[in-house]
Chains A and B, each alone.
Chain A
Amino acid sequence: MTRDEKETASILHRLRSSAAACPRTLAFMEVCGTHTMSAFRCGLASVLPKNVRLISGPGCPVCVTAQGEIDRMIELARRPEVTLCTYGDMVRVPGRRGSLEAARREGARVQIVYSSLDAVARARAEPARRVVFAAVGFETTAPATAAALLAARRLDLANFTVLASHKRIIPAMRALLQGAPRSGLGLDGFLCPGHVSVIIGQQAYEPLVREFNVACVIGGFEPVQILRALADLVDLARDHRAALINQYPEAVTPEGNQAARKLLDTVFQAGPARWRGLGEIAQSGMIIRESFARFDARRVFQLSEQAEREPASCLCGKVISGLALPPDCKLFGRGCTPISPIGPCMVSSEGTCAAWFKYGPRDAGGAPERHTLQEASA
């Protein structure tokens, strides 16, 4: 047995014996697309005891970006004077009419960047064009956008703007907990996102733990790290304790990355944001401050807020709220597939429906098995 296998075995042993001491089904939620993918890839569900469920929450920033935002990105990209720069993750996400990829095929200038600073460099290299950086992501990714805005100001770039759709995870977790009595979501704790926590710090979860009496354990992304965090969550549930535990201390400190937080505060202020599937959540958005208004694409291009309409009969809102499994949805695997996604959870490869589609069980026809949450909890 390797060291890893020994450690995995001992954690699993702890997790199983703690779970056996719990008379009911325990439900934990992760709120990070990378946790979703890692858990599916290592076959996590097959090693967990029957009464332990890990639900995927609103943790994929591409998936929760509202359809109107995608439409605005595409609209900007289609302007002849605009070069739209964005992360590779965004190019296939469907808006109401096509995706950035489709717009590019029709002549729009869409550039995939690895770093926000690549977009700044492009603006400097092409002074005759108006470069827009379409930025999505949680607190992990937002500091990079803030750095790009600072660089633009320092360089006094007249042709660079940012269309920011950054989101804050804690207000979304809070909204789920506040809605729980009505929605019927029964959560025994959160597996908190490791890399968001690198920025916001362990302490950021303390108010949630206090106010809602909910357990929060910060976990890394290797399978054994996820198991370690889950074992802690099961222990806490067994002991009826709500505590905050940092099981990713290699990377996460109590106060987070101070330089990054300061930078975020310089550039953004908290404000309402619309989440695909969840609607508007107060304080969950990062709005570009007045002092950076000339780099804010929303202001510069006078983009209008449009009424949002979620695709009919799509259950993504319920899926990312932990109230349904992908196969509960009539569209899953039928109208809605990774190549022609309808709902947000299918649009990114790390979305819950996409991960389920790729790694989940199959039925006799080769289509994703239609195994529902009701059956799973029965």
Chain B
Amino acid sequence: MCLAIPAKLIELKGDQGVVDLHSTRLPVNTLLIPEAKIGDWLLVHAGFAIQRIDSRAAAQTWAALRDLAEAAEESPPAGAKDRPDAAPRVTGETP
């Protein structure tokens, strides 16, 4: 039920925008991500952006984006293939 896909915001007027991934374009509402701006990578669920994501993290995480990343990295910058600074966060530990 909670299918969400990453895509890049390419148009925005008020809170109505258009996202693109691999030339598939769909309308998106950015009410839940008020700070969204064109060029951002967004996680989109049922027509709404629910999260802003780091573009490098997006490329590492979602298989659908890997080809894009690989195409963009014909001459990869140093360290570009490493996992981005998104180390797991641990809290709430009980003994």
Contacts and interface: CB of A to CB of B under 8 A. Distances in A.
A89 B45 CA distance: 14
Interface string B41-68: 0010111101101100110111100000
Contact of B1 (A115, A138, A143, A244): A138
B71 interface: no
For chain A, give the interface size range: 35 or more
B86 A249 contact: yes
Interface in A142-199: 143-144, 147, 193-196, 198-199
Contacts of A60: 1
Contacts of A59: 1
Contact of A193 (B2, B34, B58, B92): B2
B94 A87 contact: no
B87 A249 contact: yes
Contacts of B38: none
A32 interface: yes
A88 to B, nearest CB: 10
A195 B2 contact: yes
A202 interface: yes
Interface string B12-46: 00000000000000010101111000000001011
A202 B1 contact: no
A115 B27 contact: yes
A263 B2 contact: no
Contacts of B50: 140, 143, 195, 198-199, 257, 260
B93 A244 contact: yes
Nearest to A37: B3
B2 A33 contact: yes
23 contacts: A114-B46, A137-B2, A138-B1, A140-B2, A140-B4, A140-B45, A140-B50, A141-B46, A144-B46, A147-B31, A198-B51, A202-B89, A206-B91, A209-B92, A210-B94, A213-B94, A243-B94, A244-B91, A244-B92, A251-B51, A254-B89, A257-B32, A260-B50
Interface of B: 1-4, 27, 29, 31-34, 43, 45-48, 50-51, 53-54, 57-58, 60-63, 81, 84, 86-95
Given A61-B1, A195-B50, A260-B50, 19 more contacts: A32-B2, A34-B1, A59-B1, A62-B1, A117-B29, A140-B4, A144-B29, A199-B50, A203-B91, A206-B92, A220-B61, A241-B93, A243-B94, A245-B88, A249-B87, A249-B88, A250-B53, A251-B53, A254-B89
Interface of A: 3, 32-34, 59-62, 87, 89, 114-118, 136-138, 140-141, 143-144, 147, 193-196, 198-199, 202-203, 205-206, 209-210, 213, 216, 220, 222, 225, 232, 241-247, 249-251, 254, 257, 259-260, 263, 348, 350
